[in-house]
Each structure stands twice: as structure tokens, then as C-alpha cells.
Amino acid sequence: MLKKIVLVFSFLLMFFSFAYTRQQVPNLSVTQISSNNNTVLFSYKEKTFLGLSVNNTNISPNNSIGLASQTEFQFYQFNNNVKIKYWELKITDNNFKEVFISSGTGFPNENITWNANNGNSFIEGNFKYFFKIIVNKEDMSVDGNITVDGTLPYVLLQTSMDTIVISEDKLLKELTIASNVGDETGIDFNRTSLQILNEKNLPVKSWDLKNKEFQNIFWDGKDDIYNELIKPGEYKIVSTAYDLTGNYNQTEKKLTVIRCDLKGDISDIVVKEEPLALLVDLSSVILFSSDSCNINEEALSLLDQTADLLKVYQANKVLIEGYTDDSETKDPLLLSYIRAQAVYAYLVKEGIQAERLQAVGYGKENPIASNEDLKEKEKNRRVTIVILKKEEKTESEEENEEENEEKTEENDLTE
């Protein structure tokens, strides 16, 4: 009798265990159909009834450069016989603080968007989304990551010269380009570039930044296509950077290339481009002794080079600026003006048209070296040559010139 009771009890235990196990098998399931976990399908009793696709998990709010400005949650209904009791979409920050929530019953009739808006601004950082549904007392949830980055990568660009000179089929001085890019999220070096573009915005030279955020690049003036020296003209150096989110930033610098067969060592002349002029700095050689307006003999070759350079810009006016240091005893404005006049006279003797030149004196103003150091202050006894850029003509001025030329031609024909 006891054996029968034990047998019946064992049978009942097995039955209830089996029934309980069957009851624990979930009817609600989810399937990922994309490797990035952004598209999932929900099924009930092996019948798909809901799809969710999360688009743009890297966003840059208020950014007009092409990167998506909001994350979109798209819903697809496949079976309306399955009744959704409750659904919830929640987004939290790294500290699990809730920054967004939307919920409802039944099928989500509209897609949901999130633009990280926080009143008058937006919040940046890494976030996590959670989507949960409840069907017949069973619940299922999925999650994923969203990155919000509205900060552009920084792009810094410096060059050793704004104007490079070609002489005897080579650059007289190699151009150094300092490139510096960076971002908190990291730089996408597959899309980041450094190029030199010609007047038609076509690249003549490109560099692989080799996964380095900062580096100095040395250029000999040769292009990528033929490995030949580029032609004189106007170019621009363009640095473009993308961060890992997809934000984009760009900066550029103008580069002028001229041809001039100079005599001597061009390293004594520094040419720098300003918005309205080219500055030729002659401070590397001491032009004048203290309180003197006589040009030192060792500086004459430098002025010869300068004269050759000015002959390249035959249509441009030239300003000759004289300066003194702060220890000279003679009247600084008068002394600086006489120094500028001395250079003026020398350039005229070397074939530069006098009507192109104007001499001015600035005395002790704008020192380029410390006046506290006896050796350094010599550099302040200097002359700077300013090659003024030609003013751009308006369309009306160009039209008037063309009309005048046509009238002149007509007069010549009638005569």
C-alpha cells in the first residue's frame, strides 16, 4: 500500500513539474535582424506582430553639416490580432537618469523622434534607450546606445610662409605646414584630409595624416600627378577633419606661388601675406648702425634681392617703412624716415620706378624684438617693404573700362 502511495505521489509530482515547466516557456520573444542591434522583431507564439527600427544612433543636434539631428524610432505592425497591453520607450544618461519617456497602450501609431533637446539647448554625451512591451502578462525589452555630439572637431593650420618663391626650377625655401586636428570622441582619419587646391579647387597635393593628430609636413612644391613643381598662381591649403560621430570642420589658408630668379640667399627675406599687402621683412640682417642712416655694406645684397622681388610685382605700389630702436639719440621719427628714404634711393638705383615707391617713418613704434637686450634690439633698426595689393575693380568699373577701350578702337579706325 505504501509503495502505491509513493508511486502515485511521484506521478503527480512529475505531472505538475511538467505542467509548470510548460507554463514557464515564454510565448513572447524578440529577434535581432541587424548586426548593429538597431532593428528587431517581436513575436508572440512564434507569430511576428511588431517591428522596431532605430535610425541615427549618432546625432548632432542643430548641426547643418549633414549629420542627422535626431534619433528616430520606427514601428511596423505585422499582426493586429496580438493585443499590446502596454509599451514604453525610455532614454537615460550614463547615470541612468531619465531624460526622455514615452508610453501607451496598443500598437504605437506614430514614429517617435528624440533630438536631445533640453529647453533652449541640447544635452551631449552617451545615452541608452530601453523599449519594453507587455502582452498577456508577459513582458520583453530591448536596449541600445545613442551618442549625442554637437561639438565640431578642432582644426588648426599654420604655415611657415604665405608666399613661396620658385627660382631656378625649385623652391627657394621648403614650405612647412603644421597640422593639428582633434576631438573628444576621436578623429576619423579615413575621412580627414590635408590638401593644396589650385584656383579651380582641384587638388594638386594631398597628404595621408597617418593617424597623427599633430604633425609638421614639409613640402618641396611638387604635385601628386606628375611629381613636378607647381606653376605660379594662387592656391589654398585646406585641412578637413571628421570626428568619430561624423561631425565635420574645415579651415584653409591662402598660398601665393611666385617665380623670381633672385641672386643670393633668399633665407634673409621673409615674405608674409596680409589681407591687403605682402610684407617683406628685412630684419634678419642689420641694415643700419645705431643713430645712422647709412646702409651697412653687408645688407646691400639683401636689398638687391628685394629689388628683384619687386620687379615681379611691377603693377603694385610699394610702401617703405623705416623704424628705430628705443636707445637711439636722434629724433626717432626723422631718423626712421631718412632710413626709409635711403632704401627708397637704393631701390630706384636698382631699376624700381620711383612713382611706385613711398617712404614713411614710424620711429620706435611696433618693435619686433626686445629693447631690453642689446643684441636683440638691433633688429628694431629695420625697414619693412609693403607690397600693396591692387584694388579689385567692381563690375561697373570693368564695364566702363571696356566701353572706353571700344570707343578708343572706334576712334582709331575713323582716324
For residue 394, pLDDT beyond 50:
no
* Mean pLDDT rounded to a whole number for the chain: 82
For residue 398, pLDDT beyond 60:
no
Distance CA 83, CA 89 (A): 18
- Cross-strand pairs, 241: 249
Q: What per-residue confidence (pLDDT) applies to 328? A: 80
For residue 127, which of 103, 101, 160, 91 has the smallest C-alpha distance? 91
Question: Which helix (H) or strand (E) covers residue 29, if one does?
Answer: strand 28-32
Distance CA 356, CA 317 (A): 5
Model confidence band, residue 108 (pLDDT cutoffs 50, 70, 90): very high
To the nearest whole percent, how much of the chain has pLDDT over 70? 80
DSSP per position, 116-130: -EETTEE--EEEEEE
Of residues 397 and 404, which shows the higher confidence score? Answer: 404
Q: What per-residue confidence (pLDDT) applies to 22? A: 46
Q: What per-residue confidence (pLDDT) applies to 77? A: 93
C-alpha cell at 163: 608666399
Q: What per-residue confidence (pLDDT) applies to 156? A: 94
Which of the residue ranges 30-44, 241-255, 389-403 has the most confident prediction, judged by mean pLDDT? 241-255
Q: What per-residue confidence (pLDDT) applies to 263? A: 47
Where does residue 366 fall: left (phi above 0), alpha (psi -120 to 50 degrees), or beta otherwise?
Answer: left
Phi, psi of 22 (to 5 degrees): -65, -35
- Please compute the mean of the pLDDT values over residues 177-191 and round it to a whole number: 91
How do residues 243-266 score in pLDDT, each as one tens digit? 888 888 999 999 988 776 544 444
Q: What per-residue confidence (pLDDT) applies to 339? A: 86
> Would you tell me how many other CB atoms lie within 10 Å of the CB of residue 337?
20
How do residues 337-372 score in pLDDT, each as one tens digit? 888 888 888 899 899 998 999 988 888 888 888 878
Model confidence band, residue 65 (pLDDT cutoffs 50, 70, 90): low
How do residues 269-318 score in pLDDT, each as one tens digit? 555 555 666 777 776 567 788 778 888 888 888 888 888 888 888 888 89
Q: What per-residue confidence (pLDDT) applies to 1? A: 56
For residue 229, pLDDT beyond 50:
yes
Question: Which helix (H) or strand (E) covers residue 345, if one does?
Answer: helix 332-349
- Please compute the mean of the pLDDT values over residues 62-79 and round it to a whole number: 83
Distance CA 216, CA 210 (A): 12
Q: What per-residue confidence (pLDDT) applies to 403? A: 61
For residue 413, pLDDT beyond 50:
no
> Would you tell me how many other CB atoms lie within 10 Å of the CB of residue 70?
16
Q: How far is CA 121 from the centre of its chain?
A: 24
For residue 82, pLDDT beyond 80:
yes
For residue 227, pLDDT beyond 60:
yes
Distance CA 363, CA 366 (A): 9
Distance CA 172, CA 263 (A): 11
- Please compute the mean of the pLDDT values over residues 115-139 and round it to a whole number: 90
Q: What per-residue confidence (pLDDT) applies to 33? A: 82
Model confidence band, residue 408 (pLDDT cutoffs 50, 70, 90): low
DSSP 324: -
Long-range own/partner contacts, residues 213-217 (CB < 8 A, 24 or more apart): 213/180, 213/181, 213/182, 213/187, 214/178, 214/179, 214/180, 214/181, 214/182, 215/178, 215/179, 216/176, 216/177, 216/178, 216/179, 217/176, 217/177, 217/178, 217/179
For residue 203, pLDDT beyond 90:
yes
Q: How far is CA 142 from the centre of its chain?
A: 38
Residue with cell 638687391: 304
Residues 241/249, Cβ–Cβ less than 8 Å? yes
For residue 18, pLDDT beyond 90:
no
Of residues 282 and 415, which shows the higher confidence score? Answer: 282
For residue 212, pLDDT beyond 80:
yes
